[in-house]
Amino acid sequence: MKIRSLIFATFVLLVLVGALYWSGHHKPAEESTKASADTPPTILKLDEAAVAGLELRNKNAEPIVLTRNSSGAWQIAQPKPLSADQSAVSGVISTLSSLDSERLLVNKLDNKASDLKPYGLDQPAVEIDVTEKDNKTQRLLIGDETPTGSAVYAMLAGDPRIFTMASYLKTSLDKGLDDFRNKKLFDIGFGDPARIEMRSGAKAYFLSKGGPDWWSNGKKMDAASVEDFISKLRDLTASKFVESGFANPAIEITVTSDDGKRGEKASIAKSGSHYIGKRENEPTLYELDSSAIAALQKAADEIKPSAPGK
């Protein structure tokens, strides 16, 4: 009898332990549903590689249209054709690709403009059209700030839901034309150019790449000094864009890359306390800091022949 009682008690204990384990790891359906409902929904989800075009409209500026060219690089199509900063465009697309809300504010809405007015969505501060490769377009509308000022109202055109999203997301998306313009005087990138020619006043510098080495006038050059000079070329970045001030170039630079397939030529002129740079066959004028030009000229003067035996 004692053995039977012990076996029975053990069985009951196992059943109780199993029930407790199951209840602890399987929440009721109602609780799971509530947790899901409380999770802030995603406003927009995109495949970054599938984005083919962007149009950004701000109430206080001309629309900006960005498109990919045949090689997949981004360019500004409107308000006028301009070279685009690839990282700036990619940053906006990255933000849009997984745009999360802070909370779902309104789930159902009558299709009346007056319903959107309290949120500033009847006349949005920012509108962004995202076109994908299949020509599907989605429009994001960004309205007023919430009373706390830490978030803004947002919605997708054609979707009755209204969300709040963090204000910093609006800042990441609300960009002007100059934010998207390519500010680099040269598009050398991180690969070495094949040939560089620079004329600065009476001085002239000629460099060409032969295998892993740099050469000038038949002499092998010190690689570190040449790389420092190339680094200074890459650093030539517009502090802002200007409409005038370019005259009498003091420096002319030609860079050949991609095994001779791509050539870039730019001229640099003194203008007051700054310099103005201009790429060949392009209207854009780049204001350059004097310190950057001084660093470039110093690096050019410090290019030296390679030490014997190296």
Q: What percent of the chain has pLDDT over 90?
A: 73
| pLDDT digit string, tens, across residues 130-165 | 999 999 999 999 999 999 999 999 999 999 899 999
pLDDT (0 to 100) of residue 100: 95
pTM for the predicted model, two decimal places: 0.76
Lookup result for tokens 């990255």:
94
Tell me the domain boundaries of the chain.
42-180, 195-301
The yes-or-no verdict on residue 2 having pLDDT over 60 is: no
The DSSP symbol for 166 reads E
| φ, ψ (nearest 5 deg) of residue 141 | -115, 130
Q: What percent of the chain has pLDDT over 70?
A: 84
Q: How confident is the model at residue 7 (pLDDT cuts 50, 70, 90)?
A: low
Per-residue b or e along 151-164, where b marks 16 or more CB atoms closer than 10 Å to that residue's CB: bbbbbbeeeebbbb
Q: How confident is the model at residue 34 (pLDDT cuts 50, 70, 90)?
A: very low
Q: Which amino acid is at 238?
A: A
For residues 228 and 105, the model is more confident at 228
Q: How confident is the model at residue 4 (pLDDT cuts 50, 70, 90)?
A: low
> How many angstroms separate the CA atoms of 300 and 278, rounded?
20
**String of DSSP letters for 52-118:** EEEEEEETTS--EEEEE-TTS-EEEEESS-EEB-HHHHHHHHHHHHEEE-SEEEES---S-HHHHGG
- Between β-strands 74-78 and 64-68, what pairing exists: parallel, antiparallel or unpaired? antiparallel
Q: What is the CA radius of gyration of the chain?
A: 30
Q: How confident is the model at residue 23 (pLDDT cuts 50, 70, 90)?
A: very low
Interval 181-210 mean pLDDT? 91
| pLDDT digit string, tens, across residues 292-307 | 999 999 999 999 999 8
Q: How confident is the model at residue 60 (pLDDT cuts 50, 70, 90)?
A: confident
pLDDT (0 to 100) of residue 70: 86
Q: How confident is the model at residue 14 (pLDDT cuts 50, 70, 90)?
A: low
As given in the structure block, the two tokens for residue 164 are 């709040």
pLDDT (0 to 100) of residue 147: 94
Q: Which of 6-10, 170-174, 230-234, 292-296 has the lowest mean pLDDT?
A: 6-10
The DSSP symbol for 209 reads E
Q: For the chain, how many residues are written? A: 310
| pLDDT digit string, tens, across residues 90-123 | 999 999 999 999 999 877 655 544 589 999 999 9
Interval 260-287 mean pLDDT? 93
Partnered with residue 42 across adjacent β-strands are 100
